[in-house]
Amino acid sequence: MFKSSNNKYVKKKCCSPAHSKMTCCVSCNAKVIIPYLNNNQHADCPRCNHTLASSERWELHRCAMIAYSILILLPFALNYPLLSINLLGVEINASVWQGIWKMATQGYSYTAFLIFLCAVFMPIAFSILVILLHFSQILNIKPGNLLLSLSYIKPWVMFDVYLVALAVTMFKIREYASLQLDIYLIAFIFTALLTTLLFIKINVDALWEDFYPEHTSFFPISSKVQLQVCTACQYSFSEPIQDNKGYIYCPRCYSRVTSSKISLQRTWATLITAMFMLIPANILPMSIVYFNGVATADTLMSGVLAFIDAKSYAIAFIVFMASIFIPICKIAVLLYLLCCIHFKWTHSIKRQMKLLHFIHFVGRWSMLDLFVLALMMSLVTRGQLIDFSVGPAAFYFGAAVFLSMISTSLFDSRLLWKIYDKH
């Protein structure tokens, strides 16, 4: 089944073997024949609707131009003030880097490191990798490690989440002082938009086929062909590379093909750790504000209630969804899917796949609360009258978000389809 740009299904009348190849779906392990795709078409798995191939993409040199623009704008977006308040006649500025630095120097280095990874390191690394891929294309170099790194880094680029955190901080800071927007906020907004655009338009799977055309040879159109698929580069192969210890490696990216049993164990390990981290994250204070020497501690839920008391219902809904509902929902859904595998529950496979796609999409937005804390650290840390401090729950919350995202990425949906096939 194939879709064109107007979102209509198109059926191929002729599937010539010379222009067709057999691939193995990385989501449900189904063998699917993919013909040559025209412009603005993509091939979906007829069983799980996973996108197997797509011709909807930008050329690499065009993506590299966007990456250059992001690197030019990043110093202004990260280091220069985005917001400013007038507190007791003193103008205080807030920037991304300043909030991370203050958090790190005041005893919250682990929490600051989590924010640094998602807000500073990953966007810079993402843009640099795209530029290096462009140079590799010009110099005719095989950039397997670059493509693997790009696929791993993409889910952790969270500039769009930081943009929403900036809006939440604006509403929160109005309780203490008047707020002004700085001109460098424009650079931050443009950087977030360009990063999101590059995230959408670059097609890593298509780049693999461009750089490694020798591994896009067509298999015989036969149901008896034994295919395996590499989850790292989504390459289907019939003859893997095997070492002396019996381990199987992908012939294209040379990544080790792990068994479903090992993936399941890793998913359980990261999920259980995330569940334990989420308990102190919801019980302990997330932030502490000192006003005239009086400390006010806010947990995740009390912060949401504070926005409701201030009649900022839209902000309260965003914070509740990102900080409470999504983390708990992710863990609950993953726990349900893992139980379906272990206890062989034959529930609706379509509903199970929709739940899995949902937690893949919303998981990164849980970092919003930590980004708000970083901005608040650079704005409301001044003397004895008003002081702001990160609570002990911040690190546990960040660790729970990271571990749940890793657990979701490790989950092998093919195990669900094995149960479905048996019934």
Q: Which residues pair with 10 in a beta bridge?
A: 2
- Judged against a pLDDT cut of 70, whether residue 199 lies above it is answered with yes
- Judged against a pLDDT cut of 90, whether residue 195 lies above it is answered with yes
Range name among 52-61, 96-105, 392-401 with the lowest pLDDT average: 52-61
Q: How many domains does the chain have?
A: 2
Let me know whether 300 and 217 are in one domain. Answer: no
Let me know whether 23 and 155 are in one domain. Answer: no
Torsion angles phi and psi, residue 126, rounded to 5: -60, -45
- Judged against a pLDDT cut of 80, whether residue 97 lies above it is answered with yes
Let me know whether 106 and 199 are in one domain. Answer: yes
Let me know whether 263 and 397 are in one domain. Answer: yes
* Element containing residue 378 per DSSP (H, E): helix 368-379
pLDDT over 90 for what percent of the chain? Answer: 30
Let me know whether 245 and 168 are in one domain. Answer: no
Let me know whether 183 and 281 are in one domain. Answer: yes
Instruction: Give the model's confidence band at 275: pLDDT under 50 very low, under 70 low, under 90 confident, else very high.
Output: very high
* Element containing residue 292 per DSSP (H, E): none
Determine the Cα angle at 355 with ends 226 and 314, to 5°.
150
pLDDT per residue as tens digits for the range 225-250:
677 888 888 888 887 888 888 788 98
Let me know whether 198 and 345 are in one domain. Answer: yes
pTM score, whole prediction: 0.86
Q: Which residues contact 306 (CB under 8 A, 6 or more apart)?
A: 298
Distance CA 73, CA 357 (A): 32
Q: Which of 249, 270, 300 is the last residue of a domain?
A: 249
pLDDT at residue 381, rounded to an integer:
56
Q: What is the DSSP string of 2-35?
A: EE-TTS-EE--S---GGG-EEEE-TTT--EEEE-
Structure tokens of 233?
Answer: 């580069």
Let me know whether 200 and 238 are in one domain. Answer: no
Let me know whether 151 and 292 are in one domain. Answer: yes
Of the candidates 45, 36, 40, the residue with the CA atom closest to the CA atom of residue 16 = 36
pLDDT at residue 292, rounded to an integer:
65
Q: Which of 224, 249, 274 is the last residue of a domain?
A: 249
pLDDT at residue 38, rounded to an integer:
77
- Judged against a pLDDT cut of 90, whether residue 124 lies above it is answered with yes
Let me know whether 143 and 281 are in one domain. Answer: yes
pLDDT at residue 131, rounded to an integer:
96
**Average pLDDT in the 128-147 region?**
93
pLDDT per residue as tens digits for the range 327-346:
999 999 999 999 999 888 88
pLDDT at residue 6, rounded to an integer:
43
Let me know whether 93 and 165 are in one domain. Answer: yes
pLDDT at residue 379, rounded to an integer:
74
Range of the domain at 270: 60-206+258-422
396, 322 Cβ separation under 8 angstroms: no
* Helix and strand counts by DSSP (H, E) for the chain: 16, 16
Running DSSP on this structure, what letter comes out for residue 37?
-
